[in-house]
Amino acid sequence: MSKTAFITGITGQDGSYLAELLLKKDYTVHGLVRRSSSFNTGRIDHIINSNEYADRFFFYHGDLTDPGNLNHLFSKINPDEIYNLAAQSHVKVSFDIPFYTAQVDALGTLSILDAIKETGVKTKFYQASTSELYGKVQSMPQTAKTPFYPRSPYGVAKLFAYWAIVNYREAYNLFACNGILYNHESPRRGETFVTRKISMAVAKIKRDKQDILYLGNINSKRDWGYAPEYVEGMWRMLQQKKPDDYILSTGVSHSIREFVELAFKVVDINIEWSGSGINEKGYDKSTGKKLVGVNKKYFRPTEVDELLGNPAKAKKQLKWKAKTDFPNLVKIMVESDLKKIV
């Protein structure tokens, strides 16, 4: 008998890939879409418009901050699995809108947990947690036992959600899991996120539609993986006999500087650096043209220098492992944007 899943954030990068994965596994998929005056379903339009999934894919307008709506939907759908991927997920932006970030990322998660408890649906719940919980890292690499030290309103809100999952799991015997996912990217990544900002800029510079790419802290290091592989890990968490929390990561970190260099190499440009700090610039080695600059407005009030996850537990218990290495991830993203920008 096929299963039924409910996905919040279904129009996002992870939500769209997860919907594809579950539909291929013969699930019926229901998604929550935030109402907007402009079209916001671009990542799932191919599913919406597919006759193949017409009787197995449904979406509803709603918001995590509306508990009554969640109660109604859970009672109506009775999902076997719930995936909470909705969030205000931009770390830098969370400093500008901390209250909204807390309302969606912290209290929104609590709304789902309480809706599960109040409706009594027999379901398994996945919460999209984040490596930003570790912030000012206390050990390298990070494991599930590494102390948390978030450095942004986003990280703080996600920390509330993390412990809410643990508390409801222990207090009410809910099957609820935290997936502490490290940075995972793809051509569907939002355009304001640094990796996509870089891949788009490189494509535009190659097509003579942009002159310079401006970035913030290019020395920040992250553990970067490929998003379609990470949604497989989410699904695997809910197929276990007992709920638990897991880290999904590659176990290797790279700097934004390295991402820039590899991205330009895809279009046969070698970057040469000059200067330091906010005065550092990147030049086309062959022409001497300035292509990369640093702008202090892109720095966070509190920076996170490096995040590096230990995926050993996921590898052992979930049989999950990241497959796409860093150079290929960068290549996938740049080549995708080159096709879009002509």
The residues that are catalytic are 130, 132, 154
Output the six-digit token pair for 79.
């999902």
Q: Three-state SS for 294?
A: strand
- Cα separation of 284 and 55, whole Å? 52
Give yes or no for a contact between 206 and 155, defined as CB atoms under 8 angstroms apart: no
Length of the chain equals 342
Per the CB < 8 A criterion, the answer to whether 308 and 223 are in contact is yes
Pairing state of beta strands 57-61 and 81-84?
unpaired
Closest CA to 25 of 67, 56, 51, 66: 56
Please state whether the peptide bond connecting residue 301 to the residue before it is cis, i.e. omega within 30 degrees of 0.
no
First to last CA, the chain: 46
